[in-house]
């Protein structure tokens, strides 16, 4: 056993242990330290009594304060929703063009549109709205159905080729090859002509025949100059932007048996407010007319 004894120099009792001739003094704690220590104990007890703190089998001690962080959060959320209610009601009742003209409303709605775009639209159009093969780039100025704020709203609201919506945007390019509307030679010729419109590689010897086939079968939708017509959803064939692919093989394939993408109608799914918010966000990406 250790033997406690007093240090001859300090006149303080030791702990009774010795290491290599070194003895540990058993000095008492400073009085101020003890006061602080006891104060923290008292504070902890008072805190546990005043605030909810002790878990029970069912529930917890509610404390004298009646404070609840959950209730505080619910109250704060209710305040936020209440403050937004007036703005949301304005967005719901106002025309999207009028919302765009109001800087405060436009900022609020565009921020909401950015958030909703990530949830509902980014899966197809990408997080940056730059699209992909078969999915339009929404950040450029190449629009199938028009890029005005109203046209974008209509497209989002009613979708494209979405049969469940009576007002959906609808266009359908004929299957010129599958239905034997054009011969193989005519298809190859018009594919070369279409390639020439956007400066792609083509055979000059087929341009005259291709131009004639285009004028007789394609200009009604794509226009005499091939720059497309928004009213019928016909793409611009004279620029460098392609929904699917700009290779000769892909162009011929689209003429023979065209692909027709489908976009859902979002009006019933999301409601008027979110549709308008999305329209404002998409229009503001940089390509809006």
Using only C-alpha atoms, the chain has a radius of gyration, in whole angstroms, of: 37
Measured torsion, CA atoms of residues 239, 175, 145, 235, in degrees rounded to the nearest 10 = 0
Give CA separation, 93 vs 86, 156, 238, 265, in Å.
Answer: 11, 18, 40, 20
CB atoms inside a 10 Å sphere around CB 130 = 14
Residues contacting residue 283 through CB under 8 Å, at least 6 positions apart:
100, 147, 148, 149, 152
Q: Would you call 282 exposed, middle or buried from its count of C-beta atoms within 10 A (0-12, 13-18, 19+)?
A: buried
| Residue 134 to residue 243: CA distance in whole angstroms | 5
- Tokens found for residue 109: 């709605």
**Phi then psi dihedrals of residue 229, to 5 deg:** -135, 115
Annotated binding-site residue? 77:
no
Annotated binding-site residue? 46:
no
**CB of 60 within 8 A of CB of 54?**
yes
Strand, coil or helix: what is 189? Answer: helix
- Tokens found for residue 161: 């080729």
Annotated binding-site residue? 173:
yes
Annotated binding-site residue? 221:
yes
Residues contributing to the annotated binding site for heme c: 121, 124-125, 173, 218, 221-222, 263
Residues contributing to the annotated binding site: 121, 124-125, 173, 218, 221-222, 263
């Amino acid at each position: 056993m250790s033997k406690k004894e007093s240090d001859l120099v300090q006149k303080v009792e030791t702990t009774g242990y010795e290491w290599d001739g070194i003895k540990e003094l058993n000095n008492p704690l400073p009085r101020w330290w003890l006061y602080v220590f006891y104060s923290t104990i008292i504070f902890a007890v008072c805190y546990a009594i005043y605030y909810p703190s002790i878990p029970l089998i069912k529930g917890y001690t509610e404390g004298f304060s009646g404070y609840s962080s959950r209730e505080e959060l619910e109250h704060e959320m209710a305040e936020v929703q209440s403050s937004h209610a007036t703005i949301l009601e304005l967005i719901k009742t106002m025309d999207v063009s009028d919302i765009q003209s109001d800087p405060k409303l436009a900022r609020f709605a565009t921020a909401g549109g950015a958030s909703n775009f990530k949830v509902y639209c980014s899966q197809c159009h990408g997080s940056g709205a730059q699209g992909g093969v078969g999915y339009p780039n929404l950040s450029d100025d190449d629009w199938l159905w028009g890029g005005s704020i109203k046209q974008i709203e209509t497209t989002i609201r009613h979708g494209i080729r979405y049969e469940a919506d009576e007002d959906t945007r609808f266009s359908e390019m004929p299957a010129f090859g599958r239905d034997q509307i054009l011969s193989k030679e005519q298809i190859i010729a018009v594919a070369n002509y279409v390639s020439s419109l956007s400066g792609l590689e083509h055979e000059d010897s087929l341009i005259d025949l291709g131009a004639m086939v285009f004028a007789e079968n394609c200009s009604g939708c794509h226009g005499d100059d091939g720059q497309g017509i928004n009213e019928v959803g016909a793409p611009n064939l004279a620029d460098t932007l392609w929904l699917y692919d700009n290779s000769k093989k892909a162009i011929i394939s689209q003429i023979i048996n065209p692909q027709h993408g489908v976009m859902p109608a979002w009006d019933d799914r999301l409601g008027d407010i979110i549709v308008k918010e999305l329209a404002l966000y998409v229009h503001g990406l940089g390509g809006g007319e």
